[in-house]
Structure formats: structure tokens, C-alpha cells
């Protein structure tokens, strides 16, 4: 089944009418996952039995409704295959976070987002590979090997949610969930040529998302088009009593909000963000996208984000500090991996963390512990929080002039494996355009906007005010309708 040729809503309706079945759809997705995983390494677990059983339940419900003479009324995602990043808890399936320290851990509960997907009829086909504990921009930090980019398997898919991005790009599933702490949904979406949506902080529950940076993390959505992203967000968004940081803000009908024209919408552009460090072909694609929005009737206005230049430094202080705190729980006592041959408790702690964590996670734990330590807290962590406030204020002032800000998503197209892995600073700079949204808590979406001369996808990013996901999805939808990417990856289902 070619998921590129249908939307999530059309797929559900086709299943409801009996033109296909949930089982046929699930098996098509499972077959593609198993067939392509040797090439892509996108999945860490594929749950054929669970997915087929769930599909059969949906098909049985449809048969029962028809036998009773009832019109088949299915939930929004009935029969829709979906892949889940391996740092989001799914009961009965592994949650390793791409790390040996969790290894075969199977949580006894579902994340709130997963419960809502299941209630909506979605079929989870597997857990996707990711950078260890979501720390990375290339998926080279997974303890289980890197994910390959479907467009060119010699190149990275982006990170940390590279497995979910690759699974959608390759047509294995129409939609997938990832997490975004500093760009981990939007950056791989850009490098793999798909939609990647990070909601406003507090729009989607973090209950059941394994914590990296608690004030930054958000569950996000990958899809091939804005309408599918809207359908999934509709299901998972909203207040959750399990997560005190979720906001009691009404969830609009995202699918219905796609349709109004964007004529008169104001899109802000900060020319300072289109200068040094930006790949020439990415800059050209962004300029073309700006002109495309003019042609669609949008007004392009200049905005200034003066503190954006400090965002990388601020992010890698706050994120590592929170990581140091959150990852202290992995000590070999409560769950996951425990080192052997450790004669004393302190030795067991030390050996477990040394053997269980990879080098990037260790680096960030050490950085975070340093900035939180006595004598350095005020100089680093406290100052970073103050600059974070300034970044948030920059966005508030910019949104007084515009409805969304347009930037590149990533400074370059997908780079080759090994190209940056030994240079942490060069790797961190891949997030230069995305971390601001997490620091400010605003929503962002990456939209495919072109191909490089080597045939690699390029993405643009749209950032909006708090709770403006509907506007971002509408802008993305309008652009895709007139400017579809067209090309397909070399590896696809």
C-alpha cells in the first residue's frame, strides 16, 4: 500500500467502507518495516502480532456494525499504522531510548499520547531507533547503530528522532511520533523531506515520555502532509491530569482550520538568520519559499530576533543541566542494566553508568553537572535562564508584527556519516535554527521546500505564537498544495 497516495482520513474512510481492511493495511506497513529495516535500521522493535491483533479487532467492529445495520462510524485514526519513537512508553513493548542502560525495559503503562492514539484506533507497528536518550542531531549516538537516510543511505537522517522520520519518508507508515527537545522532530523532518511538527510546550502531555530536558521536551508528529499531522495532533493534544505542565487551553479542529486561504497572513523573516553558516542551496530554497508565500497572498515582513545568536549556548547549558538531573535515576538499582562484578554499591553505580551510557550522554551529564555545581551555577545556569527570557521576549515582540516567523530548519542538507560526530560543536550547530522554539516554548513546523543539487531534501521552519498550531498547519498546507516536493527517496515501500 502506498501511503504517499492517500491521507490518514481517506485511509480510515476506505477501511470503514470495506474497500480495504485494517489488517491488509497493517500487514502492508509491517511487511515494509521488516523488508526495509536491514537497509534503514529505523526500527528497534516491530510488533507484528500486536498490530495484526489490533487490526482484526477494528475489522470485527466494522463487520458487527454492518451486520446490525449501523453506519460504520470509526474513530479518527482507525486502522492507521503509526510508528513510535523508542523514548515514548508503550505497554508491552520495549522502551530503550536507544541506550544500553535501559536495554530491554518494558514499561507497565502507556504514555498519555499512546492511550489517546489507541482510543482513536491507531495501530502501533513498532518502536523507532533514536539517538541515545534523544541526545543528538544525526542518530549516530544510538547504542543500536545509526538510522540511514532513505534518500541516501550514506547520509544521516537527522536526530534524535531519525527512525520516525525515516519510517515516514520511506512510506513504511503514514505518520509517526517523535520527541523534540531542541529540534529532534523538525531537524530530521527537514533532512528526510517530511513534515515535522513540534507543538507549543504544554499542548501535548509528556506523561510517559522519558525525560531529557523537562522544560524543553515535547512529543511531536511526523507526516507526509499537513493534513495528516493535523489529524494526529487533534488526537494527542489537550489537558492531562497526569502532567501538570499541560495547559487547559481549548484544542481547535485542526483539520477544518487547514482550509481557509492564507491571503493577508503576515510572515516574518529575520535576514540576520540567513547569513553566515547557512548552506548556499538552503538559502536559495528559503528565498524561493518566501517568494512562494508572496504568490499565495501572504505579506512578508522583516522581524528581528536579536538574542537568537545566543540560543545554542543557552540551550546546551539548560538542556545538559536538566539531563544531568533526569538521568541520575539510572543507577542499576531500580530498572534496566546493572553492571556485574561490582563489589560495593558505589562501584556498582560507577560501573553501571560507565558501561550503560554512551559517550554523548556522558558528555552532556558532565556538562550539566558542571554548570549546576557550586561556584558555577550563577555564572552559567542562572545567566542562561535570564537569556532564555530575553529569547522568549524577542518572539513575543516579533509576533506583534507577524503571524509566523519563517527560517531554515537546518543549516545544511543531510551530511555524511562520520562527518561531524567527532566535533561536538559542529554537531550542536545543526540545531541553531530549532532550539529557540524549545527555549521559548513556541510551536514550530518543518516543511519540505526543495532539493539540493545532490537530490537531498531541504526544509523550512515556521514558528508561531503560543497555541498557534492551527495557523502553522494552514500555512504548511497552503504551501504544500502549490509546491509539492514531488520526488521520492531512493528507498521506499
Tell me the pLDDT tens digit for each residue of 286-337.
999 999 999 999 999 999 999 999 999 999 999 999 999 999 999 998 888 9
Between CA 454 and CA 271 the distance in angstroms is 26
Q: Which of 2-6, 81-85, 391-395 bottoms out in mean pLDDT, i.e. has the lowest?
A: 2-6
pLDDT at position 69 is 77
Is 253 in a helix, a strand, or coil? coil
**pLDDT band for position 71 (50/70/90)?**
confident
Is 198 in a helix, a strand, or coil? strand
**pLDDT value at 70 more than 80:** no
Is 231 in a helix, a strand, or coil? helix
Longest dimension (CA), the chain: 73
Nearest to 171 by CA among 125, 220, 130, 117: 125
Average pLDDT, the chain: 96
**pLDDT band for position 4 (50/70/90)?**
confident
* Cβ 447 vs Cβ 479: under 8 Å: yes
Mean pLDDT of 215-240: 98
Query: Cβ contacts of residue 376 below 8 Å, gap of 6+?
Result: 370
* Cβ 216 vs Cβ 260: under 8 Å: no
Is 452 among the catalytic positions? no
Q: Which CATH entry fits the domain spanning 3-305+393-482: 3.40.50.970, 3.40.630.10, 3.40.50.300, 3.90.1300.10?
A: 3.90.1300.10
Q: Specify whether the backbone of 385 is left (phi greater than 0), alpha (psi in -120 to 50) or beta.
A: alpha
* Cβ 15 vs Cβ 7: under 8 Å: no
pLDDT at position 210 is 98
pLDDT tens figures, 386-399: 999 999 999 999 99
Between CA 409 and CA 161 the distance in angstroms is 15
Terminal Cα-to-Cα distance of the chain (whole angstroms)? 8
**pLDDT band for position 260 (50/70/90)?**
confident
Is 179 among the catalytic positions? no
**pLDDT value at 343 more than 90:** no
**pLDDT band for position 252 (50/70/90)?**
very high
Residues in the chain: 493
pLDDT tens figures, 52-69: 999 999 999 999 888 877
pLDDT tens figures, 414-458: 999 999 988 888 898 999 999 999 999 999 999 999 999 999 999
Q: What DSSP line would sit under 262-323, residue for residue?
A: -TT-EEEE-GGGGSTT--HHHHHHHHHHHHHHHHTTPEEEE---TTGGGHHHHHHHHHHHHH
**pLDDT band for position 342 (50/70/90)?**
confident
Between CA 96 and CA 85 the distance in angstroms is 10
Q: Catalytic one among 184, 227, 410, 452? A: 184
Nearest to 337 by CA among 136, 15, 97, 46: 97
Between CA 18 and CA 62 the distance in angstroms is 8
Between CA 239 and CA 242 the distance in angstroms is 9
Query: Cβ contacts of residue 419 below 8 Å, gap of 6+?
Result: none
Between CA 25 and CA 2 the distance in angstroms is 10
**pLDDT value at 275 more than 90:** no
**pLDDT value at 189 more than 90:** yes
Between CA 155 and CA 456 the distance in angstroms is 10
Q: What DSSP line would sit under 266-281, residue for residue?
A: EEEE-GGGGSTT--HH
pLDDT at position 103 is 79
Q: Catalytic one among 28, 78, 160, 164? A: 160
pLDDT at position 263 is 96
**pLDDT value at 346 more than 80:** yes
Is 205 among the catalytic positions? no
Nearest to 129 by CA among 46, 27, 25: 46
Q: Catalytic one among 21, 28, 85, 96? A: 85
Mean pLDDT of 398-422: 96
pLDDT at position 318 is 98
* Cβ 270 vs Cβ 308: under 8 Å: yes
**pLDDT band for position 5 (50/70/90)?**
confident
Quote the pTM value: 0.97
pLDDT tens figures, 84-123: 999 999 999 999 999 999 978 999 999 999 999 999 999 9
Peptide bond between residue 160 and the one before it cis (omega within 30 degrees of 0): yes
pLDDT at position 192 is 98
DSSP code of residue 216: T
**pLDDT value at 357 more than 80:** yes
Amino acid at each position: 500500500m502506498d501511503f504517499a497516495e492517500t491521507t490518514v482520513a481517506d485511509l480510515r474512510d476506505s477501511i470503514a467502507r470495506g474497500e480495504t481492511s485494517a489488517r491488509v493495511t497493517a500487514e502492508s506497513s509491517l511487511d515494509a518495516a521488516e523488508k526495509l529495516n536491514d537497509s534503514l535500521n529505523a526500527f528497534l522493535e516491530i510488533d507484528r502480532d500486536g498490530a495484526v491483533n489490533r487490526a482484526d479487532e477494528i475489522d470485527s467492529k466494522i463487520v458487527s456494525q454492518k451486520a446490525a445495520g449501523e453506519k460504520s462510524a470509526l474513530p479518527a485514526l482507525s486502522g492507521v499504522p503509526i510508528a513510535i519513537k523508542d523514548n515514548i512508553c508503550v505497554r508491552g513493548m520495549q522502551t530503550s531510548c536507544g541506550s544500553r542502560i535501559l536495554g530491554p525495559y518494558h514499561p507497565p503503562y502507556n504514555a498519555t499520547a499512546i492511550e489517546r492514539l489507541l482510543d482513536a484506533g491507531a495501530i502501533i507497528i513498532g518502536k523507532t531507533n533514536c539517538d541515545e536518550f534523544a541526545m543528538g542531531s544525526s542518530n549516530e549516538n544510538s547504542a543500536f547503530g545509526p538510522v540511514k537516510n532513505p534518500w541516501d543511505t550514506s547520509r544521516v537522517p537527522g536526530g534524535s528522532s531519525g527512525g520516525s522520520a525515516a519510517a515516514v519518508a520511506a512510506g513504511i507508515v503514514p505518520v509517526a511520533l517523535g520527541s523534540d527537545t531542541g529540534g529532534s522532530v523538525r531537524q530530521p523532518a527537514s533532512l528526510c523531506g517530511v513534515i515535522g511538527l513540534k507543538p507549543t510546550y504544554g499542548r501535548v502531555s509528556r506523561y510517559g515520555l522519558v525525560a531529557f530536558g523537562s522544560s524543553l521536551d515535547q512529543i511531536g508528529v511526523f507526516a507526509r502532509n499537513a493534513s495528516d499531522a493535523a489529524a494526529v495532533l487533534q488526537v494527542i493534544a489537550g489537558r492531562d491530569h497526569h502532567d501538570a505542565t499541560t495547559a487547559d487551553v481549548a484544542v481547535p479542529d485542526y483539520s477544518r482550520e487547514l482550509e481557509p486561504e492564507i491571503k493577508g497572513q503576515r510572515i516574518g523573516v529575520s535576514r540576520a538568520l540567513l547569513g553566515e553558516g547557512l548552506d548556499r542551496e538552503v538559502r536559495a530554497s528559503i528565498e524561493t519559499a518566501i517568494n512562494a508565500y508572496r504568490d499565495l497572498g501572504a505579506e512578508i515582513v522583516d522581524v528581528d530576533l536579536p538574542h537568537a545568536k545566543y540560543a545554542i549556548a543557552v540551550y546546551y547549558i539548560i538542556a545538559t543541566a536538566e539531563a544531568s538531573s533526569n538521568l541520575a535515576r539510572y543507577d542499576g538499582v531500580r530498572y534496566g542494566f546493572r553492571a556485574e562484578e561490582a563489589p560495593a554499591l558505589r562501584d556498582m553505580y560507577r560501573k553501571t553508568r560507565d558501561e550503560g551510557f554512551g559517550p554523548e550522554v556522558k558528555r552532556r551529564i558532565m556538562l550539566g553537572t558542571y554548570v549546576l555545581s557550586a561556584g558555577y551555577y550563577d555564572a552559567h545556569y542562572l545567566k542562561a535562564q535570564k537569556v532564555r527570557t530575553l529569547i522568549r521576549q524577542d518572539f513575543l515582540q516579533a509576533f506583534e508584527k507577524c503571524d509566523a516567523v519563517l527560517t531554515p530548519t537546518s543549516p545544511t542538507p543531510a551530511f555524511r556519516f562520520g562527518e561531524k560526530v567527532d566535533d561536538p560543536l559542529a554537531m550542536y550547530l545543526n540545531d541553531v535554527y530549532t532550539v529557540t522554539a524549545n527555549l521559548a516554548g513556541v510551536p514550530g513546523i518543518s516543511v519540505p521546500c526543495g532539493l539540493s543539487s545532490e537530490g537531498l531534501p531541504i526544509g523550512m521552519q515556521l514558528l508561531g505564537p503560543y497555541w498557534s498550531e492551527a495557523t502553522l498547519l494552514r500555512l504548511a498546507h497552503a504551501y504544500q498544495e502549490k509546491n509539492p516536493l514531488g520526488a521520492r527517496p531512493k528507498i521506499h515501500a
